[in-house]
Amino acid sequence: MRGYDALLAGKPLPFQPLLVQYRDYAVWQRSWLEAGEQARQLDYWRSHLGEEHPLLELPTDRPYPALPSHDGA
């Protein structure tokens, strides 16, 4: 709430800047994946989940229209 209140009042945020930004995480993750981890992760999940997944027939509150309209709710 302190941050929101400061923004509403036009004051500087009462927090210290973060030492690590999202950009740093993205660079770290990309280098981790490019070092061979991506292939290992894919192998792991394919061995646990398989290649084919059943279609879930979940109940709906009304039938789907034959031609979707893409109108909002």
Question: Each residue of 18-38: pLDDT tens digit?
Answer: 999 999 999 999 999 999 999
- The whole-angstrom separation of Cα 24 and Cα 69 is 42
pTM (two decimals): 0.47
Tokens of 27: 């660079």
> pLDDT value at position 70?
83
- The whole-angstrom separation of Cα 28 and Cα 35 is 11
Q: Return the amino acid letter for 50.
A: G
